[in-house]
Chain A
Amino acid sequence: AQRVTQPEKLLSVFKGAPVELKCNYSYSGSPELFWYVQYSRQRLQLLLRHISRESIKGFTADLNKGETSFHLKKPFAQEEDSAMYYCALGTGRRALTFGSGTRLQVQP
């Protein structure tokens, strides 16, 4: 069965520090990986997906099939990055399997 693991419930960094939100997955097929973000009082929204290989708001994520990971990275954190981040795995049934989420706090 597919599973997504986000080992950190809370990640607290200072403004300007690098950020890495960890995500590991288990799935026997060809994975589609996503990062979703939920800012305070806003709805859950897509941040980025591995197939597009793009950088959104300075965030990047590389799919590492050998390590079954899809870590989210940003070189310099900003206060407005504070939010709840969810890693998600897309499988053949068209629904997403979500990790438990990591709350990122960026302190001034």
Chain B
Amino acid sequence: DGGITQSPKYLFRKEGQNVTLSCEQNLNHDAMYWYRQDPGQGLRLIYYSQIVNDFQKGDIAEGYSVSREKKESFPLTVTSAQKNPTAFYLCASNSGTTIDNEQFFGPGTRLTVL
């Protein structure tokens, strides 16, 4: 099960703390994405990056931050400003070409705020 990995699998955070979720891919993909998955709401886009050192806000970026210093890595920081951070977070990547829009997903990180 290589390709795209996320760590940790489970993460617990106290209120007021920032936490960083890791996402790494060895698929040589240019584009990477972060989604939040909540029951009954599907997946919602937090941030995405189409190239190193560049990223854009998605639909629910408030309270989150990202960086893209390396092609293979796209960490997500959940800040204390995020009002309801308890959720399942999914990272994805794709080649970024115009002919292939398939996204490959990591196994996810479940974040719980205590």
Q: Which residues of A does B touch, CB under 8 Å?
A: 4, 6, 9, 32, 34, 43-46, 49, 86, 90, 93-101
Contacts and interface: CB of A to CB of B under 8 A. Distances in A.
Contacts, number: 49
A85 B48 CA distance: 23
A46 B102 contact: yes
B48 A43 contact: no
A96 B42 contact: no
B75 interface: no
A95 B48 contact: yes
28 contacts: A4-B42, A6-B42, A9-B40, A43-B107, A43-B108, A44-B43, A44-B90, A44-B105, A49-B101, A86-B43, A90-B101, A93-B48, A94-B48, A94-B94, A94-B96, A94-B101, A95-B33, A95-B45, A95-B48, A95-B58, A96-B45, A96-B103, A98-B42, A98-B43, A99-B42, A100-B40, A100-B42, A101-B40
Interface string B30-46: 01010100001111110
B56 interface: yes
Given A86-B43, A94-B31, A95-B33, A43 B105 contact: yes
Contacts of B103: 46, 96
Contacts of B90: 44
B50 interface: yes
A68 B97 CA distance: 25
Interface in B74-90: 90
B95 to A, nearest CB: 10
Contacts of B58: 95
